[in-house]
Amino acid sequence: MNVKELANFTHGWSGLCIGNPGSVPRLGVGLLCLQNGPDGVRAQEFVMAFQAGIHPLGAA
């Protein structure tokens, strides 16, 4: 990854998702739409997910 691609991928952009890292078409990495998990602290509408099977201890 060159510097421009790395900056685009790590900085991301705002949108409907919690996280939107940029794409890197040259490497075949498309756009991602990230949300909190079902146990996340932010509530999002129109997101479906099953409960997490294992709860990380770091969240306690």
Predicted confidence (pLDDT) per residue in 33-54, tens digit: 777 665 555 666 655 555 556 6
- pTM for this prediction: 0.48
Report how far apart, in Å, the C-alpha atoms of 29 and of each of 16, 21, 23, 47 are: 19, 10, 6, 23
| Residue found under tokens 């991602």 | 32
- DSSP bridge partners of 19: 34
Residue 3's domain comprises 1-36
Give me the number of domains the chain comprises: 1
Residue 54 lies in a domain: no
Distance CA 56, CA 60 (A): 8
Residue 18 lies in a domain: yes
Residue 47 lies in a domain: no
Residue 5 lies in a domain: yes
Residue 57 lies in a domain: no
> Residue 23: pLDDT band by 50, 70, 90 thresholds?
confident
Residue 51 lies in a domain: no
Percentage of the chain surpassing pLDDT 90? Answer: 7
pLDDT of residue 11: 81
**Cβ-based neighbours of 27, under 8 Å, separated by 6 or more:** 1, 5
